[in-house]
Amino acid sequence: MKPRAGRVILVIGGASSGKSEHALGLADAVPMIFVATGQGLDEEMAERIRRHRSARGPQWETAEVPVDLVAWFESNQAREGSVVVDCVTLWLSNLLSAGLSEPGAIEQAHALSKVMRSAQARIILVTNELGMGVVPFEAGGRAFRTLAGQVNQIIAREADEVHFVVSGLAVRLK
């Protein structure tokens, strides 16, 4: 495998911490591609997606990829520029909703990390830090929090940089 020309940057933070805005600001090469994992399955989410798309502006190409991130990166390895993936946590939720098991989701995280290493673009992934809040009451919530933490660790290990965002302020951890 040839050396990777691009960089992988993970931006992690809590809900509404400013991590998406920070990630967009790290996109420094054109073309700029926004890979959206969110799905407008209810009116509130559909409105949120419309608002975010409008705020990004016309310079951003948008690819809606709720489940098949690995395949998307395999098909787009040679593309240059900046790619912002928002967000890993929704992607993980979509994988589980599509029937993938937790071990299968871990395999997908490893596959994603591997395929990004050969990409030409600057890749910026946004994810939620779920481990700093209240312990979820339901077992399913606790299991998802643990799985999300494992996936974040897999991606963080492979990333060239990791930025943590709190209240709109970013700290580079790696």
Q: Which amino acid is at 159?
A: A
User: Is 2 part of a structural domain of the chain?
Assistant: no
Q: Cα 78 to the chain's mean position, in Å?
A: 19
User: Is 26 part of a structural domain of the chain?
Assistant: yes
At residue 5, the pLDDT reads 62
Task: Identify the CATH number of the domain in which residue 117 sits.
Answer: 3.40.50.300
User: Is 34 part of a structural domain of the chain?
Assistant: yes
CB atoms within 10 A of CB 15: 10
CB 168 within 8 A of CB 159: no
Choose between 1 and 167: higher pLDDT.
167
User: Is 44 part of a structural domain of the chain?
Assistant: yes
For the chain, strand residue ranges (E) read 8-13, 32-36, 60-64, 82-86, 122-128, 161-166, 169-172
CB burial of residue 20 (10 Å; 0-12, 13-18, 19+):
buried
pLDDT at 4 over 70: no
Residue 91 in tokens = 């992607």
Give per-residue pLDDT as tens, 133-154. 889 899 999 999 999 999 999 9
Full domain range(s) for residue 129: 8-172
User: Is 166 part of a structural domain of the chain?
Assistant: yes
User: Is 1 part of a structural domain of the chain?
Assistant: no
User: Is 123 part of a structural domain of the chain?
Assistant: yes
Give per-residue pLDDT as tens, 56-103. 888 899 999 999 999 999 999 999 999 999 999 999 999 999 999 999
Q: How many domains does the chain have?
A: 1
Residue of 58, 17, 6, 44 lying closest to 165 (CA atoms)? 17
Active site residues: 52
**pTM attached to this predicted model:** 0.93
Phi-psi category of residue 57: left, alpha or beta, with phi > 0 → left and psi -120 to 50 → alpha:
left
Residue 36 β-bridge partners? 64, 86
